[in-house]
């Protein structure tokens, strides 16, 4: 049990505490708050942009990986984290950032109930309702543009972002799923409402295989299974009725030593201007690409290489910002 619990939290679904310490950004601090949903006290961190004025603000939800606390996402725990970069971007682009936290799963750490019907380690909380209540609560507290609610997540959080696209598409304008795919065995309804979806997956991900199948390193049935990335992309192409031939471009190879380059495939022309985008991170492992927040060699020993040619939050925001529900 000790070996598996360590491997699960340091390796399986997240960005655990094995990278060099960073420094908290005193100019960008998310405020931790609490809300009671279905009789359970839930945590989230919130960042409201400076000098927002009276404009209606979009909202970006950033969902953690399994075993990760919101302090790890915002930089408060002083670990390297690409996700804290949302806050600086929020100041320049004027949107609210929310870092919700899941409830403890089988190993006593936060997880999301993300539609994987064959996964037995995640919480069984009604996390869809949690996010719905957060949206409604924030709408009462702030001047929010409810047509521009976006959800991004990595690993377990990426699966959960996709669950929200399936279960509450009337509230979500677009989702981004990093190091995740659609579940191969789903306990959720089949998706049928068009939603813009972005996938950002590494071809050398040793925990969420690009080609799908059993998750984990080593693979274990308790973690469930995922669709191949290309199959998940095709699923949403068919739902959104986008063009089937993408535009393709390759990003400059800013770091020749990070394992490979990033290709972007854009399938546009969908219903209600939806589109499906795939960032294929060649040689990339189980992590969000980042230029500014680079993980350690120890992290890469467990999760494989992190790409340093693109900044995940910037790419995801470029995808999000034109989408409306």
Residue 80 has pLDDT above 60, yes or no: yes
Coil, helix or strand at residue 80: coil
- Could you tell me the pLDDT band of residue 24, with boundaries at 50, 70 and 90? low
Contacts of 290 (CB under 8 A, 6+ apart): 82, 85, 306, 307, 308, 311, 312
> Which residues, in sequence order, are bridge partners of residue 63?
153
- Backbone angles phi and psi of 225, in degrees to 5: -130, 160
> Which residues, in sequence order, are bridge partners of residue 44?
33, 100
Q: What is the mean pLDDT of residues 6-25?
A: 41
- Backbone angles phi and psi of 57, in degrees to 5: -105, 130
Check residue 165 and give its pLDDT. 98
Tokens of 48: 């409201």
Peptide bond into 218 cis (omega under 30): yes
- Could you tell me the pLDDT band of residue 25, with boundaries at 50, 70 and 90? low
C-alpha to C-alpha distances, 298 to 74, 110, 162, 171, 311, nearest whole angstrom:
21, 23, 30, 39, 21
Q: How many residues does the chain have?
A: 325
For residues 59 and 95, the answer to whether their CB atoms sit within 8 Å is yes
Indicate the pairing of strand 213-214 with strand 196-202: unpaired
* pLDDT, tens digit, 9 for 90 and up, residues 117-152: 999 999 999 999 999 999 999 999 999 999 999 999
Cα separation, 292 vs 243, in Å, equals: 34
Indicate the pairing of strand 276-281 with strand 196-202: parallel
Whose tokens are 């990003």? That residue is 251
Annotate 136-156 with DSSP letters as a single string. Answer: HHHHHHS-EEEEEEEEEEETH
For residues 149 and 172, the answer to whether their CB atoms sit within 8 Å is yes
Tokens of 251: 């990003």
What percentage of the chain exceeds 90 in pLDDT? Answer: 89
Q: Which has the closest alpha carbon to 61: 166, 165, 141, 187?
A: 165
Cα separation, 84 vs 140, in Å, equals: 25
Annotate 122-135 with DSSP letters as a single string. Answer: S----HHHHHHHHH
- DSSP label of 41: E
What percentage of the chain exceeds 70 in pLDDT? Answer: 92
Check residue 78 and give its pLDDT. 85
> Which residues, in sequence order, are bridge partners of residue 96?
59
- Could you tell me the pLDDT band of residue 26, with boundaries at 50, 70 and 90? low
Cα separation, 89 vs 94, in Å, equals: 8
- Structural domains for the chain: 2-320 (3.40.50.1820)
Residue 18 has pLDDT above 50, yes or no: no
* pLDDT, tens digit, 9 for 90 and up, residues 247-273: 999 999 999 999 999 999 999 999 999
Burial level of 40, CB count in 10 A (0-12/13-18/19+)?
exposed
């Amino acid at each position: 049990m000790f070996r598996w619990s360590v491997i699960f939290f340091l390796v399986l679904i997240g960005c655990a505490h094995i990278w060099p310490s960073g420094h908290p950004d005193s100019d960008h601090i998310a405020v931790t708050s609490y809300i009671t949903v279905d009789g359970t006290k839930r945590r989230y961190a919130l960042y409201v942009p400076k000098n927002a004025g009276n404009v209606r603000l979009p909202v970006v939800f950033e969902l953690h990986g399994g075993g990760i606390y919101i302090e790890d996402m915002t930089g408060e725990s002083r670990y390297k984290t690409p996700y804290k970069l949302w806050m600086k971007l929020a100041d320049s682009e004027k949107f609210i950032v929310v870092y919700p936290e899941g409830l403890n799963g089988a190993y006593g750490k936060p997880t999301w109930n993300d539609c994987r019907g064959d996964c037995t380690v995640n919480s069984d909380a009604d996390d869809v309702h949690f996010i719905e209540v957060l949206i409604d609560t924030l709408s009462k507290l702030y001047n929010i543009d409810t047509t521009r609610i976006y959800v991004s997540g990595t690993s377990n959080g990426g699966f959960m972002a996709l669950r929200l696209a399936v279960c509450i598409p009337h509230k979500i304008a677009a989702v981004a799923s990093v190091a995740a795919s659609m579940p191969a065995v789903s306990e959720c309804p089949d998706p049928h409402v068009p939603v813009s979806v972005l996938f950002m997956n590494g071809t050398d991900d040793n925990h969420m295989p690009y080609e799908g199948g059993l998750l984990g390193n080593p693979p274990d049935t308790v973690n469930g299974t995922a669709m191949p990335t290309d199959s998940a992309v095709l699923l949403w192409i068919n739902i959104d009725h986008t063009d089937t031939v993408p535009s393709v471009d390759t990003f400059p190879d800013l770091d020749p030593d990070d394992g490979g380059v990033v290709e972007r495939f854009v399938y546009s022309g969908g219903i209600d201007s939806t589109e499906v985008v795939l960032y294929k991170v060649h040689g990339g492992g189980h992590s969000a690409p980042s230029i500014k927040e680079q993980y350690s060699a120890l992290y890469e020993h467990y999760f494989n290489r992190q790409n340093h040619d693109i900044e995940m939050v910037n790419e995801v925001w470029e995808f999000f910002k034109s989408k409306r529900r």
